[in-house]
Structure 1
Amino acid sequence: MEKGDFVKDIVPNAEASGIFAVAEASLAQSRNGPYWRLVLADASGSIEAKIWSPLSGEFSEIAPGTLAEVEGRASLFRSAVQLAVEKFRPLDPAEAARVDQTAFLPSSPYPLDAMFDELMALCREEFTHKPWRKLVFAVLEDAELAPLFRLSPAAKSVHHAYAGGLLEHTLGVFKACRRMADQYPELDRQALLAGALFHDFGKIREFSGGFSNDYTTEGRLLGHLMLGVEMLAPFLARSGLEPGLQEHLRHLILSHHGELEFGAVRQPHTPEALALHYADNLDAKLAQCRGLFAALDGDGPGWTPWQATLGRPMYRPPRTPEGRPPAPKGRKNARREECLSLLKA
């Protein structure tokens, strides 16, 4: 089936028609009778929509996650575009199966296949201790877990909250930890990288994903730190990994939020746990900044609105002009270039 209009294309005082995912649905009452308040979504964004009486009476239930064929007219209400629905037809399962799902799910800006292939290549390069290697590839090649890991979001909102977000965030933290291990050779490189790889693995079960991504019941009750340790337990049991390294990996996962008030089960008590916490926090915060700055007009300097999760608004400063460094001059610089070439050799 053809997608039709995308949310980003809907403008005031114009007709709109297409297939949308119902992200939210609630029944309310007005002077003219009951009406449905909906949030319709696709990969380009979301829009509030209303099904007014008498059409609203045709639907006893509208479940979030439903795909529906929608027609209506857009208008401006309180400075936001809103859609008055004139036709609403939920798709049956067979029709929904024929729709391109990627048209409805906000997803990582980076190709999922390329990110997964890069992560697998880095793991082949880094994990030389056979038990670590056995553990890592048993998980990443698991027929059930690998597809979920590729597609899961990393959050409900705030950062990497889209399909492929968990993979993107994991790859970012993994690469940051590699650089930390280069800078600080006293760190247990393979333990740190295993922690980076699995620190958020429990989010596969913490979030439902899909059109109406939300916390699952076990996600609310246990959280992704505990779920991650639970998910890895059978793989660890078969890995042959030394008991002390297994214990350290569990600590890395359970402590990576840094402080108990932010959800850590324990504070970081090893240098690797500290490094993982800061790498994770940095990747999440910078991803949030990218999202905030993308919503600003233009590419120049500007302030975001107040952000409760950061406790401040953020400022996008002017950027340094792109340019090549000046060419080396004189005998001193020539000697420097000679030294650099020897280091690279």
Structure 2
Amino acid sequence: MARYVGKKSQYIHSLVPGQPVDDIFILASANQAQSKNGPYWNITFQDSTGSIDGKIWSPKSLEYQDLESGQLARVRGFVENYRDKNQLKVDHMELLEATAPGIDLADFMPTSRIPPEELMEMIEDLITEHLKFKPWKSFCKKVLSDEEIRTRMLMAPGAKTVHHAYAGGLLEHTLQVARACMALCDVYPNLDRQTLLVGAIFHDLGKAWELSGGLTNDYTDEGRLLGHIQIGQDRLEPFLKRSRNLDDSFKLHLKHLITSHHGEHDFGSPVRPKTPEAFVLHFADNMDAKLNIIDQAYVDMDKKGQEWSPYMRFLERNVYRAPATPSHSKKNDEKPENQCLLPLKA
């Protein structure tokens, strides 16, 4: 395993077809496949700005026997365009030690644009603003002040690959879902604003244990065996038991919100929503996930000057960037900014 001295200078978000590459990346995934010309490696390379698929073709592929996700490597090759996507053709690759001089692990971990500590403060501001019922406020503060829970939430991703799949992604998604729920309470005032907010804040808590985060960001044994809905319920249960001033009916409603937030059995929900608040949480959760997927697609489209995305498997369609209506408060030549999304840090 080689040792590397130097500073990373080429980042995935800026790579263009035809560009030679000589830099370090993390192997987000690596698997062998077979072609008529012999075995080859399918690799997804990653850094803090995104990911790119790569290939090591035969006979060069025979030099690499044990490639695993999470390994760092110095990669030499060039970028080519394949089916409207950048792909890295590897000419040579050296595996590196993560502790080698010149390597900063922050270069390889995608992170939310807003620091996780600030996202947590925004969530706590929502608690201060909207939770007037003292048992609910006390419950939330005790959960979020737990050292293990807070530490895990600060760096947890929101998913493995599909949406918010970066450090701070869980808090970013949680904040956006909570904001959406509070906005809908203004439209539908009969909703139980306070229980809904608690459900929004903790609906994905289990993801902090379901996913490993870090350089590999894979499912943990607990995540594979239980899933984040059950894990979240298990982590909250001791706090609920100690909340003697909280009526059992409120506790039951919170559990239902968390258990049903995927909406349908086909989407992994143990039960379907059966209260107005559960419907709202499901729709807010689903909406934020899909808008984050589209927001990240727009980043790639803007780099290529495209109006249409490639086919997106998780949305089952292509997406279009429609021209934005000019604002009277902006100059006509200014590009309107999206104020509701928190895009991936470039």
Alpha-carbon deviations, 1:8-27, whole Å to 9, x = none? 45556655332211112234
Alpha-carbon deviations, 1:179-226, whole Å to 9, x = none? 122232222221010000011111112222222223333323322111
Match of 1:66 in 2: 71
Alpha-carbon deviations, 1:277-302, whole Å to 9, x = none? 12212222222221222222479882
Structural mapping, 1:175-324, within 5 Å? 175-240=179-244, 241-297=246-302, 302-324=307-329
Q: 1:287 to 1:7 in 2, by over 3 A?
A: closer
Alpha-carbon deviations, 1:113-159, whole Å to 9, x = none? 32221111221222232221222112212211112112211112232
2:233–2:255 CA contact under 8 A, matched in 1: yes
Q: 1:23 to 1:129 in 2, by over 3 A?
A: same
Secondary structure of the 1:315 match is: coil
* Separation in structure 2 between the aligned mates of residue 156 and residue 178 of structure 1, nearest angstrom: 27
Alpha-carbon deviations, 1:25-59, whole Å to 9, x = none? 234578998665433211123331428657854x5
Q: 1:14 to 1:186 in 2, by over 3 A?
A: closer
Q: TM-score, normalised by structure 2?
A: 0.82
* Separation in structure 2 between the aligned mates of residue 12 and residue 184 of structure 1, nearest angstrom: 50
Match of 1:45 in 2: 50
Partner AA of 1:217 in structure 2: D
Partner AA of 1:295 in structure 2: D
Greater shift, 110-119 or 43-52, is seen at 43-52
Runs of 4+, deviation exceeding 6 Å: 29-34, 298-301
Which structure's relative contact order is higher, taking Cα pairs within 8 Å and 6+ residues apart? 2
Shift of 1:2: 2.4
1:11–1:81 CA contact under 8 A, matched in 2: no
1:303–1:314 CA contact under 8 A, matched in 2: yes
* Structure 2 portions without partners, runs of 5+: 1-5, 331-346
Q: 1:10 to 1:258 in 2, by over 3 A?
A: closer
* Separation in structure 2 between the aligned mates of residue 285 and residue 28 of structure 1, nearest angstrom: 31
The equivalent position to 2:129 in structure 1, one of 104, 119, 125, is 125
2:23–2:76 CA contact under 8 A, matched in 1: no
Alpha-carbon deviations, 1:219-274, whole Å to 9, x = none? 23322111111111111112222211111100000011122222211111112112
Match of 2:153 in 1: 149
Match of 1:20 in 2: 25
Alpha-carbon deviations, 1:66-106, whole Å to 9, x = none? 123x1423253746442424340321x5338x743221122
Q: 1:54 to 1:263 in 2, by over 3 A?
A: closer
Q: 1:86 to 1:250 in 2, by over 3 A?
A: same
2:15–2:79 CA contact under 8 A, matched in 1: no
Partner AA of 2:49 in structure 1: S
Match of 1:86 in 2: 92
* Separation in structure 2 between the aligned mates of residue 131 and residue 303 of structure 1, nearest angstrom: 49
Match of 2:342 in 1: none
Q: 1:258 to 1:23 in 2, by over 3 A?
A: same
Q: 1:237 to 1:293 in 2, by over 3 A?
A: same
- Over the aligned positions, Cα root-mean-square deviation in angstroms equals 2.9
Which structure has greater helix proportion? 1
Secondary structure of the 1:156 match is: coil
Greater shift, 309-318 or 199-208, is seen at 309-318
Q: 1:128 to 1:297 in 2, by over 3 A?
A: closer
* Separation in structure 2 between the aligned mates of residue 75 and residue 288 of structure 1, nearest angstrom: 24
Q: TM-score, normalised by structure 1?
A: 0.82
Match of 2:337 in 1: none
* Separation in structure 2 between the aligned mates of residue 263 and residue 54 of structure 1, nearest angstrom: 42
* Structure 1 portions without partners, runs of 5+: 326-345
Match of 1:100 in 2: 104
Partner AA of 1:151 in structure 2: M
Number of matched pairs: 321
Match of 2:333 in 1: none
* Separation in structure 1 between the aligned mates of residue 287 and residue 35 of structure 2, nearest angstrom: 47
Q: 1:272 to 1:5 in 2, by over 3 A?
A: same
1:254–1:265 CA contact under 8 A, matched in 2: yes
Q: 1:157 to 1:89 in 2, by over 3 A?
A: closer
